[in-house]
């Protein structure tokens, strides 16, 4: 990895591909990987291959990757044992008329790890959050869903942060309260008493833009108590944080007891799989909510997930990511201070984020991340970052050396 400030990095091929994509794909690149959300022309937009904690873009630039595919890569790209398990299954077949034993093994494993009773599988987080909401409606016979303002639960109409193609009726029964503010939840529950099927929230608040917020002391206990009192089911959306904080789900890390938990991202170390796991008493209602997808029983992703869970546990990867993350955020804080800059590091160490104080319009943040990209370190200006178990202490130290130079440039720009 080059940390030279002079290192020229061309994104010419990325830009050429983006121009071609724009002609045949609406938006060119859609969703959260759109170039419009980073710094156009200063970040790579197309990848070719990856290994461990690094990837290469279409121009041949190498990056130390702190986005990890926006979360799925938890052990490192192309992990040999995960890929060997996937490859063996690929030779036997992936898509059949029936599920394979791997589906049963994975359901057993997730039920045991989470302390809940059963599991079902899909391909994306949105598949599972939407289905979990339906299960709650089926079980309670109620319509209303409560969620946290600014929280993200996927791209489906009831929760999408977008507006296109959405009609008011899609969200008529979805109401928002404020993270870490139980009074706003109490108000909503009082207003809709007897009508609320479920409350869905991520285990800590990680909005699409900016700083994360951990649960305030007692917040989850209060949420749980209020939900139980009113017969409201609690859905933990662990799609983003799952398997980076606790092997059995982030609810165990933050010590609360949801009725349903949704996973995706890290579960298959890059293989497309999602899961919803639920309490035994919801199993009959769950069996009445139609659930299917052409590829949702795919055996390769099930085998990859089984291998991922085994390695996460065997190698104590979650503690490792925590340690590496602490080294990273401590180094960022110290680096910023050295250059007289005020930063806020937020989120758990394994899913860190850093922002500059009073950075209106995210300008410093964008400059900093563009400078890091120029030095071969890939971060996103306003989406939280992700560490993986393949990152080493030396990687962190390399990233901090790049950050020192990037901080210097940001500080110089302020003078
Ligand atoms: C917390 C959370 N829930 C749900 C989703 C939706 O997952 P997917 O994009 O796989 O549909 C995401 C994706 O980023 C997420 O972070």
Kindly report, residue by residue over 285-341, the tens digit of the pLDDT: 999 999 999 999 999 999 999 999 999 999 999 999 999 999 999 999 999 999 999
pLDDT at 209: 82
Q: In this model, does residue 3 exceed pLDDT 70? A: no
Q: Domain extents for the chain? A: 12-77+316-414, 80-314
Query: Is the predicted pLDDT of residue 2 greater than 60, yes or no?
Result: no
Q: What is the pLDDT of residues 185-244, one digit of tens each?
A: 999 999 999 999 999 999 999 987 889 999 999 999 999 999 999 999 999 999 999 999
Determine contact, residues 241/351, Cβ cutoff 8 Å: yes
Candidate of 208, 264, 293 to mutate for ligand 1, largest count of ligand atoms within 8 Å of Cβ: 264
Closest to 377 (Cα-Cα) out of 410, 412, 328, 318: 328
Q: Are 74 and 68 in contact (CB under 8 A)?
A: yes
Question: Could you report the per-residue pLDDT of 148-175, keeping only the tens digit for each?
Answer: 999 999 999 999 999 999 999 999 999 9
Report whether residue 103 contacts ligand 1, using a CB cutoff of 6 Å. Answer: no
User: Which residues pair with residue 47 across a beta bridge?
Assistant: 57
Cα separation of 239 and 253, whole Å?
15
Q: Given ligand 1 and candidates 67, 129, 258, 263, which is best to mutate, with the most ligand atoms within 8 Å of its CB?
A: 129
CA distance 136 to 145: 9
φ, ψ of residue 247 to 5 degrees: the values are -65, -30
What are the b/e assignments for 198-231, b being 16+ CB within 10 Å?
Answer: bbbbbbbbbbeebbbbbbeeebbebbbebbeebe
* CA 344 to each of CA 6, 149, 321, 356: distance values in angstroms, whole numbers, following the listed order: 28, 21, 20, 6
Parallel/antiparallel/unpaired status of strands 353-356 and 343-346 = antiparallel
What are the structure tokens assigned to 239, written together?
A: 């799609």
**pLDDT tens-digit profile of 34-78?**
887 777 788 999 999 999 999 999 999 999 999 999 999 999 999
Contact 227, 193 (CB under 8 A): no
Do 28 and 37 touch, CB atoms closer than 8 A?
A: no
- Dump the DSSP string for 263-318: E-GGGGTTS--EEEEE-GGGHHHHHTS----TTTT-HHHHHHHHHHHHHHHHTTHH
User: Would you give the distance in Å from CA 407 to the centre of its chain?
Assistant: 27
pTM of the entire predicted model:
0.97
Inter-residue contact 116 to 178 (CB < 8 Å): no
Backbone angles phi, psi at 391, to 5 degrees: -70, 140
The reported pLDDT for the residue numbered 42 is 87
Contact partners, residue 394, CB within 8 Å, separation at least 6: none
Query: What share of the chain in percent tops pLDDT 70?
Result: 98
Q: Residues 16-27: what's their mean pLDDT?
A: 96
264 CB within 6 A, ligand 1: yes
Query: What token pair was written down for 135?
Result: 């299960």
**Type and span of the H or E element at 234:** strand 233-237
| Averaged pLDDT for residues 354-382 | 92
| Least confident range of 3-17, 258-272, 349-363 | 3-17
Cβ 237 under 6 angstroms from ligand 1: yes
May I ask the CATH architecture of the domain 80-314? Answer: 3-Layer(aba) Sandwich (3.40)
User: Closest Cα to atom 14, ligand 1: which residue?
Assistant: 240
Kindly report the backbone phi and psi dihedral angles of residue 133, in degrees, each rounded to the nearest multiple of 5, phi listed first: -60, -40
- In the reported structure, the alpha carbon of residue 298 is separated from the centroid of ligand 1 by a whole-number distance in angstroms of 20
Q: Is the pLDDT of residue 383 over 50?
A: yes
pLDDT exceeds cutoff 70 at 268: yes
Q: Identify the pLDDT of residue 11.
A: 94
Can you tell me which residue has the tokens 């050429």?
16
In the beta sheet, which residues pair with residue 50?
Answer: 55
Phi and psi for 3 in degrees, rounded to 5?
-115, 15
pLDDT at 360: 80
Predicted confidence band of residue 362 (pLDDT cuts 50, 70, 90) = confident
Question: What mean pLDDT do residues 93-109 have?
Answer: 98
Three-state secondary structure of 189-227: HHHCCCCEEEEEECCCECCCCCCCECCCCCHHHHHHHHH
**pLDDT of the residue at 7:** 59
- What is the pLDDT at residue 1? 45
**Would you state the pLDDT for residue 415?**
61
Query: Hey, do 12-77+316-414 and 80-314 end up sharing a CATH topology, with the first three levels equal?
Result: no
Two structure tokens written together for 250: 């982030």
What is the model's pLDDT at position 413?
A: 82
Task: Report residue 59 as tokens.
Answer: 């121009």
CA 46 to chain centre: 20
Q: How far is the CA of 127 from the centre of ligand 1 (A)?
A: 9
Tell me if 131 CB under 6 Å of ligand 1: no
Q: Which residues, listed in sequence order, are joined to residue 65 by a DSSP beta bridge?
A: 378
What does pLDDT average to over the chain?
A: 95
* CATH fold for the domain made of 12-77+316-414: 3.90.1150
pLDDT, average across residues 381-405: 97
């Amino acid at each position: 990895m080059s940390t030279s400030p002079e290192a020229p990095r061309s994104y010419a091929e990325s830009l050429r591909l983006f121009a071609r994509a724009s002609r045949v794909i609406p938006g060119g690149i859609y969703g959260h990987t759109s170039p419009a959300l980073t710094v156009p022309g200063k970040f790579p937009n197309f990848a070719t291959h990856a290994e461990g904690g690094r990837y290469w873009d279409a121009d041949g630039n190498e990056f130390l990757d702190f986005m990890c595919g926006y979360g799925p890569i938890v052990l490192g790209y192309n992990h040999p044992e995960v890929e060997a398990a996937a490859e063996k299954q690929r030779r036997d077949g992936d898509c059949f008329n029936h599920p394979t034993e791997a589906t049963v093994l994975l359901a057993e494993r997730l039920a045991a790890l989470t302390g809940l009773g059963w599991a079902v599988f899909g391909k994306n987080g949105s598949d599972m959050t939407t289905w979990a909401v339906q299960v709650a409606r089926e079980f309670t016979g109620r319509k209303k869903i409560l969620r946290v303002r600014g929280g993200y639960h996927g791209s489906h109409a009831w929760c999408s942060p977008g507006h296109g193609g959405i009609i008011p009726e899609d969200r008529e029964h979805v109401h928002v309260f404020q993270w870490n503010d139980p009074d706003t939840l109490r108000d909503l529950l009082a207003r809709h008493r007897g009508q609320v099927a479920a409350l869905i929230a991520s285990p800590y608040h990680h909005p699409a833009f900016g700083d994360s917020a951990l649960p305030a002391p007692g917040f989850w206990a209060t949420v749980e108590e209020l939900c139980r009192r009113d017969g409201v089911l609690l859905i933990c959306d662990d799609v983003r944080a799952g398997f980076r904080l606790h092997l059995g789900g982030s609810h165990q890390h933050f010590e609360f007891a949801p009725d349903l938990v949704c996973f995706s991202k890290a579960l298959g170390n890059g293989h497309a799989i999602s899961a919803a796991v639920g309490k035994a008493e919801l199993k009959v209602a769950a069996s009445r909510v139609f659930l299917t997808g052409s590829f949702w029983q795919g055996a390769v992703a099930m085998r990859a997930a089984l291998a991922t869970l085994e390695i996460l546990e065997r190698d104590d990867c979650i503690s490792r990511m925590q340690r590496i993350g602490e080294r990273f955020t401590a180094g960022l804080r110290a680096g910023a201070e050295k250059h007289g800059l005020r930063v806020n590091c937020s989120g758990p160490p394994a899913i860190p984020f850093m922002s500059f104080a009073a950075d209106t319009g995210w300008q410093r943040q964008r400059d900093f991340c563009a400078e890091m990209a120029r030095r071969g370190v890939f971060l996103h200006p306003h989406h939280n970052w992700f560490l993986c178990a393949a990152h080493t202490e030396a990687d962190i130290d390399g990233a901090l050396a790049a950050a020192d130079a990037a901080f210097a440039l940001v500080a110089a720009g302020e003078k």
